[in-house]
Every structure is written in C-alpha cells, then in structure tokens.
Amino acid sequence: MTKGKRILTAAVCLVVAAGSVTGGAMFYRANQSKKHKVEVILVSNIMDQYWGDEIYMDGIVSASNNHSVILSNDQLVERVLVKEGDIVKKGTPLLDYDMMAVELEVAQKKTSLALAEDHVRQAERELEKLKNLRPSEEMPDFGDDFFEPDDFGEPDMPPNVLSEVKDVSEAAEGDGNSNSPYQFACSESTVVRTSVLEQISNTNSKAVFVVYDGTGYAAYAWIISADSLSGISFADWTLGEHITLTEDGGVQISGNGTWYGIVQVGGSFDYDPAGNNTDEPTEPPTDEPTEPSTDNTENTENTDNTDETPPDDLVQPMAFINPLSEIKPLASKNESEDYMYSRSELQYKISQQELEIHSMEIEVKKAKIEYDAALEKQKNPQELSKIDGVVSKVAKSAEELEINEPYIVVRGEGSVMIQGNASEMYLDEIKPGTIINVSSWDTGEMVSARVTEVGNVPTSYDGSQDYGKNPNSSLYPFRAIVEDECDLTVGNYISITFSGEVSNNNFYIPLSYVRQEDGQYYVMKESKDGKLEKQIIQTGKIIYGGYSIEVISGLGESDHICFPYGKYVTEGAVVKKKNDTSY
C-alpha cells in the first residue's frame, strides 16, 4: 500500500470513529432524556396576587381654623396667659411652661428618640432576613431519581465515626482527665468494648462518647468517669441500645439495659470529636448535668462547691436528661428558616414587617419633632398662638384632662389645608381630585382630603420629607383640602396614605421560575409536542422584595413551565405534568 493510500485509510477511520462517538453521545442523551422526565406545572397554579402598593408619605397641616394645645405627660404649666373669649393674633403667648419640667422633658425626649431609631434598625434587620428566606414551593423535589450514587454518595455521616471502640488511644481528642476527657465520635450502633471501660476505671479517667445521627449532627453523648464505673461489672456496650431519637431533638430511653454513664442531649454540650461544629461556643461547656435533689431540707452548704458527687451504682440516664424545653439541639444551631413558609405566608410577613417599619419610622419622626420642640421650649418656654382667632377653651387644670384632650383651644376662620411631598414615581397616581387618607400623629384623628394641586418644580431633599426612602428620587409638593369638620391644628404632622393603580391585564409568577440571558428573561415551557423549550418573555416590575416578577407577554396562564434549574432541564427534555403547587 502506498503512503497516500495509508493516509486516506487513516482519515476514513478517524471520520468513522468520530461519527461513532457523536452518535453514541446523542444516543446516551436521548436515553437520559427519556429516563429522566422534567416536571412542569400550570402557570395559573403558581401565579401571585397583587392588589397594588399601599403608598405612604408624610405631611403637615399648613393651614387650619383650629389651634389645640395638647400637653404631653412631661409638660407642666406654670401660668396661663389668656382666658376664654380673648381675641388673639398669631404669635400671641397663651401660657408659660415650667422650666424645670422642660429640662427633664428634653432629656426624656432625647432618650425616646434614640430608642425609636434603634427599634427601626432592628426591624430592618428582621425584614432583610425575611426577604432572604426561600418559600416552601421552592423546596427541592427529593424524588426517587434525585439522589444518584454518582452525584451524592453515602449519607453525610462524619468520616471518623467508630463502629467499635477497643482502646482509649482511638479517641479523636482529649487525654482522659476531667478538663480534657477522651472524646470518641460514635453512632448509635457503636460498640464500646469491655477493655475500654476497664481502662477508664483503672486509670481514673473520664471519657465522652458523642453519638451522631445519620445527618452528621451530635444527637446525644454518654459521659463516663472512673467514679461512675466503681464497683460495676463490665460487658460490651452498644451505645444506642434502647434509645430512640425523637423528632424534637431529644432522646427517649425504654426497656431494661445496662448503662455506664450519664446521657446529655445534643445542644447541652460542646464536645465535637467529629469536628462538625465550627462555631464559637455561646456558653461555657457543661461537663455533667446535676442530679435532681430529692432532699426537701434547706440547703445551707456553699453552692460554689463544684466537686463531683459520683453515683453509688449504675446511673439511671433519664434522671440526668435536661428538660427538652430547656435544650436547643445542636442540629438547629445554624438552622435556616428556608422552606418553612409558603410564598404567600412570606409575602404576608414581609408586608406586615414593612408596615411595622413604617409605623416605627413615624415614631422616629414624632420623637425627633418632640425632641426639637422640647429644645425650642428651652429657648422660649411659652406656647404661642399659631392662628388668628378666639380662645374657645381653657381647662381648669391639666389633671382633669383626658388623653389627647386640649388644654387651650383657639378657633379661627378658613379651611384646613394639607401640605405633602410625593415621589416622582407616584405622580401618575396623585393628581388633582385624588382622595387621600390623613391621620394625625398627635391625636390619631383620621379624615379624608382631596388633592387640589401638584407642583411642577421638585423640592430639595433634606432628609425629613421621606424618612428611610431613596434620596435620589425627586419629591414634588402637593396641597389637599379637608372638606369635613376636624380638629387638626396648623403645624400638626400627619401620615398620608392612598392605593396605587394596578393593571388587571398582567400577572405575576415567582422570580425563581425565570432565568435571564443576554439581557432577556425566559422560562422553560412545555411545547406542543410535550418537550421543554426556551420561551422569551417580556417582564415588568418585581414585587414582594424580589420574590415575584410581572409577566407582560410571552406566557399565558394555561401554559406549563418548570423550575429552570437542574441536571436534566434542557431544551428537548420530555416533561411530566404536576397537579399541585408543592415543589
């Protein structure tokens, strides 16, 4: 054969080999797709309801026909300067405050402000925690074909767990003294040989046998000392014999058996010979629990004595187990709350927490205003009339007043006007004619007001108009009139709420069912031939702290989609339909 023919033959062989490999790979993938069907779910079953945002903002009573002087608990009146029927002008002194009480009020208001700000910080941390939790609908589906030997291997039992303990030299940690006992990593089937018990007894040592469950957490521990073994005949001992792990992290001992020490439930000790617990201990380690006393006589001995009192005979384990209600299992030390709540429950919790934070922010504003007012009284300890009018009420004494009942009232003429600042993102909702709800910070009085005008020029941001919100968002002033009779006083701070508009044409689905690629959002949808295909969708706003996204087009309520992550989630994969929303 010539050299040219040999080269041609080799090239043909390579092509045939490459074709065989490609065909084999395609055949393997096809078989895998048939074997592993991907679950899809009806879009309407996972749609989220959205009724629009409740919009909050703050404002002030800019004009009023009423000025009510309401005393706080810390304010004392030294002298009243007017009487009923007096005609007063704006700026007329109405009363003098007690200066000593004013100084005490300043200190108290400063403390109240600091506490209110701290409450907001704590609530915001809790809100962030809620937003990071994953709903139960996103819990992975641990089906029959989820755990494959190639992927996960054996259960997560610590690698140094002993099937039997034959010598104290097998201890993972410790040298056998009371401060550093031998520590053995064990399972419930671990057998402690007679020779080990004899070694502990003869060398006056101490040992801890930590029993780990199938997930690798320390479920309980047997603690043995030479004193507890005194006068006892030894035999091979299976640590988990007659012991059952309960669902709440405790242990239950039943039947008759021989036990050579005392048992402690996981979470009540810091021994970890398997090396699973990397956290710093939050409490000093407790070597042994104290046996409950049955002596009813008064104990007059020094309670600081920490000498151990060995049991006279075999320890009865149940007498030494701490009450389960007082024990936090080690397995739950860093336990996440992921998947504990459904999506709707999380949305509710987040919305309630946001409402609570908004209320707390109002309390911060009130505290700041009251603190500033107290500082102002130090400079001028008089209450001045805020309007022109007639004094219609002067109380005989502050002690006779009900809560939020005014001490002095000045009545004038004109309408009650509200001044507020709306974010630019709400200008489509708040416009002339919009009805807003108004609530007084001082008295809690609630009235409705009608927006009369919205300014065209944004106001400067000074940190007070919209506490806790984005300072980069422009604020536009608006005015509203209260058409019903009310007792709002000029200068009173108020809360303003109204509901934003909602589009009824679009719907929302969990953001976890949507992926993004090259700036486009897509879902994995069932095609007409029952296989997965990539479907580009047009999306809108993201709501509920990032849990749901608005679908504008590209997907219908009757379509079926899958959770778009997983080993077998690829275009062309065969699907199977899921009948409910659990995942």
Q: What percent of the chain has pLDDT over 90?
A: 15
Residues 118 and 106: their CA atoms lie apart, in Å, by 19
- The model carries a pTM of 0.37
Last residue of a domain, one of 446, 477, 499: 499
Q: Cα 55–57–61 angle (5° rounding)?
A: 135
Structure confidence at residue 276 (pLDDT): 62
Q: Same domain, yes or no, for 405 and 437?
A: yes
Model confidence pLDDT, tens digit, residues 510-551: 888 999 888 889 999 999 998 999 999 998 877 766 678 889
Extended strands (E) in 372-528: 382-384, 389-394, 408-411, 416-423, 435-440, 446-454, 475-482, 493-499, 507-510, 515-517, 520-526
Range of the domain at 375: 54-129+356-499
Reported as a single tens digit per residue, the pLDDT across 151-172 is 444 446 677 889 999 999 999 8
Kind and range of the H or E run holding 539: strand 532-543
What is the arithmetic mean of pLDDT over 81-92?
91
> Per the structure block, which two tokens stand in for 346?
């999380």
Element (H, E) at 61: strand 54-63
The 10s digit of each residue's pLDDT in 188-215 is 899 999 999 999 988 889 999 999 887 7
- Based on the domain organization, do 217 and 320 belong to the same domain? yes
Contacts of 468 (CB under 8 A, 6+ apart): 120, 357, 361
Domain containing residue 506: CATH number: 2.40.420.20
Same domain, 112 and 203: no
Note the pLDDT of residue 502. Answer: 55
For residues 148 and 521, the model is more confident at 521
Q: What is the pLDDT of residue 229?
A: 84
- Asked if residue 295 is part of any domain, the answer here is no
Smallest CA-to-CA distance from 479 within 7, 59, 165, 69 is with 59
Q: Are residues 491 and 577 in the same domain?
A: no
pLDDT at 234 over 60: yes
> What does the DSSP 8-state code read for residue 219?
E
Domain count, the chain: 4
Residue 138: inside a domain, yes or no? no
pLDDT of residue 545: 61
Q: Average pLDDT of 27-45?
A: 71
Strand-pairing partners, residue 408, are 69, 394
> Is the predicted pLDDT of residue 342 greater than 50, yes or no?
yes
Q: Which residue has the higher pLDDT, 111 or 138?
A: 111
Average pLDDT over residues 72-93: 87
Window from 110-124, 310-324, 508-522 with minimum mean pLDDT: 310-324
Residue 346 inside a domain? The answer is: no
Residue 268's H or E segment, with its range, is: none
Q: Which of 119-133, 275-289, 424-438 has the lowest mean pLDDT?
A: 275-289
> In this structure, are 366 and 482 located in the same domain?
yes
- In this structure, the answer to whether residues 89 and 162 fall within a common structural domain is no
pLDDT number for residue 73: 72
Cα–Cα–Cα angle for 88, 89, 91, rounded to 5 degrees: 110
CA distance 401 to 155: 71
Are both 198 and 321 inside the same structural domain? yes
Residue with tokens 């000074």: 462
Say if residue 122 is in the same domain as residue 184.
Answer: no
Identify the top-confidence range among 45-49, 51-55, 570-574.
Answer: 570-574
Structure tokens of 540?
A: 């809108």
446-454/475-482 β-pairing: antiparallel
Binning pLDDT at 50, 70 and 90, where does residue 415 land?
confident
